[in-house]
Structure 1
Amino acid sequence: MNRTTKNLLALQRDEITLCETYRRLARSEKDAGRQAVFVRLLQDEIRHCDALRSHTGCEVAPDVKRVVRYVWTGRMLGPAFVARQMERREKGTELGYARYCKGAEFVQIGLDERRHGEELTRLAAGVRLSYMSSVVLGLNDALVEFTGALAGFTLALNDPRLVALTGGITGIAAALSMSASEYLSTKTDRKGEKHPLRAAGCTGAAYILTVGILIAPYLIFSDALVALGVMLAAALLVIALFNYYYAVVRRESFRRRFLEMAILSFGIAGISFLIGYLLKLIVGVDV
């Protein structure tokens, strides 16, 4: 098998994988506009598969793992995220045609792939992310403030269960307070892009979920300092996952956002840890 045939087979596998992905996304999409986009892209990919099959003379199976990954990503993280992922894939396929294939037929397919990338860009940009700011508010506050609070509690109390109890009470109270603030803030917003109760729910849910992740190590480990270390690692993971999602959807720099949020959270945690130590010395209480 020569090099050109191998390249064509690789492109054919990409195309049939995209076919199956768009078919499943169109089937599960409830929004009529987005569904129409996926159906249109599917029809183009079917034509591309037929053209490649006429040159290779082979039937190629889709990459099932990639199809499942795209579909479940769409279900769990929303259409904007999966559209950005598919956009990258379409641009990669376009480069494949430009690099390996010659002839008017392949030039047209390459142009189709470029158009697909543009359509997916518009689709992702058109998805309303009105409640993203509410989620960011809850997550940011929980990570920045609560990480610091737990670090301070750890040294001041030195008992993982007591830290978890104190942190849980503080976290729930803070989540309710943040939800109430977001509700009032959204209600006074004249633009009216968000429903006040939904916005408050997103903020509170993001806060409580983060609190649950951060206090979990104190319920698992018997050593307070070990629990502190695991909590900080969990905070770093949450920061990385959230900022990766945000960077993909908003097409922003992951590194810049990640470093900014990590420095804030860990900086405040370090300061709180020192404050807890100083207060313990000043008050003279040893729990």
Structure 2
Amino acid sequence: MRKILYGFQRNEITEFYVYKFLSKISKNKNSKVLRKIAEDEFRHYNILKKYSKKDLHPNYLKIIWHIFVYFILGLTFSLNAMEKAEEKAQKNYLMLKDEIPEIEKIILDEDLHEKELLKLIDEERIKYISSMVLGLNDALVELTGTLAGLTFAFQNSKLVALSGVITGIAASFSMSASEYLSQRSDPNSQNPLKSAIYTGIAYIFTVFLLVMPYILVPNPFFALIFLLVIALVIILFFSYFVSIVQNKSFKGYFSEMFLISFGVMGLSFIIGIIAKMLFNIDIL
């Protein structure tokens, strides 16, 4: 019980320092929201301290990790990730409710009050996450299928890479233009140009990652294996990112992206085989 109490108390002081740091580097409404959450965490720490009779140091590695995640993946992701980790730990905290009457109120604060505050967080990149999903999904579905088909049709890494780069960049411009026109016609759209830019950046970034194996690996079939691995990692990462910031089911979102991307890739590979046999083309 004492170990659980210490863990709970240390977690509160750790999150206090994380929220306090983030409040100082954030602006406007975000700063006020984070400062309020930090105050709640410090109040919880002092309540627990009355029972533990002990001052505890925060987990400095955890603080560094959350700050690192903030700079890489943004404010909304880092905060939601902290909250999800805390939700898992709260089952153990209920074991203390007989010894610490205030424990249920603390957990209620964590479940309700802080989540309401987190909804107020205003971050630009989250507003345009649908545009990023569009660019990334489209690049995955189109380019993985195209590269898989070209791999068997050409059987030459350099030609596949060249074709992939040309196709990918042209498609990114086309997709950005389509997103701009789509958002332009939507009266609820905030900024069509930014939506188009986010879509294009996500598309080009995905193109670069998918074409890279064909640039680095001479054997096109080995490059295809690396392509499959990279595509899987992209789907895993982005599914996790979206599940955290939008509170969606990771398994459901990952399964959908995986089946669509790899299904199109399989069909394109078959088309490449059929095209090679029909046209009887050999490229040396």
Q: CA deviation at 1:57?
A: 3.2
How far the C-alpha of 1:92 sits from its partner, in A, is: 4.5
Q: CA RMSD in A?
A: 2.0
Q: Given residue 241 of structure 1, which amino acid in structure 2 is its aligned partner?
A: F
| Corresponding residue of 1:45 | 41
Whether 1:122 and 2:119 are equivalent positions in the alignment is: yes
Partner of 2:136: 139
Runs (4+) off by over 6 Å: none
Task: State the identity %.
Answer: 40
TM-score (normalizing by structure 1) = 0.90
Counterpart of 1:250 (choices 246, 251, 257) is 246
Instruction: Tell me the residue number matched to 1:265.
Output: 261
Alpha-carbon spacing, 1:141–1:22, altered in 2? closer, same or farther (3 Å): same
- TM-score after normalising by structure 2: 0.91
Given candidates 144, 148, 152, the residue that maps to 1:155 is 152
- 1:108 CA drift (Å): 3.9
Deviations 1:90-127 (A, max 9, x none): 43555444322434444443443334443345336x65
Structure 1 segments unaligned to the other structure (5+ residues): none
List aligned pairs for 1:130-279, cutoff 5 A: 130-193=127-190, 195-279=191-275
Q: Flag the 1:113–1:178 CA change in 2: closer, same or farther, 3 A.
A: closer
Whether contact under 8 Å (1:80, 1:123) holds in the other structure is no
CA displacement 1:208-236 (0-9 Å, x = unmatched): 10000000000111111000011011011
Q: Distance in 1 between matches of 2:107 and 2:273?
A: 63
Code of the aligned partner of 2:186? D
Tell me how far 1:29 sits from its aligned partner.
Answer: 1.2
Distance between the aligned counterparts of 2:129 and 2:236, measured in 1?
16
- Partner Cα separation in structure 2 for residue 208 and residue 202 of structure 1: 10
Give, in whole Å, the separation in 2 of the partners of 1:96 and 1:27.
Answer: 32
Give the stretch that moved more between structures: 205-214 or 75-84. 75-84
Shift of 1:56: 2.6
User: Counterpart of 1:28 in structure 2: which amino acid?
Assistant: I
Separation (CA, whole Å) in 1 of partners of 2:203 and 2:239: 16
Give how far 1:199 is off: 1.2
Distance across 2 between alignment mates of 1:91 and 1:167: 44
SS at match of 1:135: helix
Does the C-alpha gap of structure 1 residues 12 and 156 become closer, same or farther in structure 2, counting only changes over 3 Å? Answer: same
Tell me how far 1:179 sits from its aligned partner: 1.0
Matched, 1:23 2:10: no
Deviation of the 1:169 alpha carbon: 0.7
* Contact residue 161 and residue 214 of structure 2 kept, 8 A: yes
Look up the SS of the partner of 2:120 in the other structure: helix
1:58: which partner in 2? 54
Letter in 1 for 2:170: A
Give the conservation status (yes or no) of the 8 Å contact 1:160–1:224.
Answer: yes
String of CA shifts for 1:52-82, please: whole Å, max 9, x gaps: 3343333322112221222222232222222
For 1:88, give the aligned amino acid. Answer: K
Q: Of 10, 13, 37, which residue of structure 2 is paired with 1:13?
A: 10
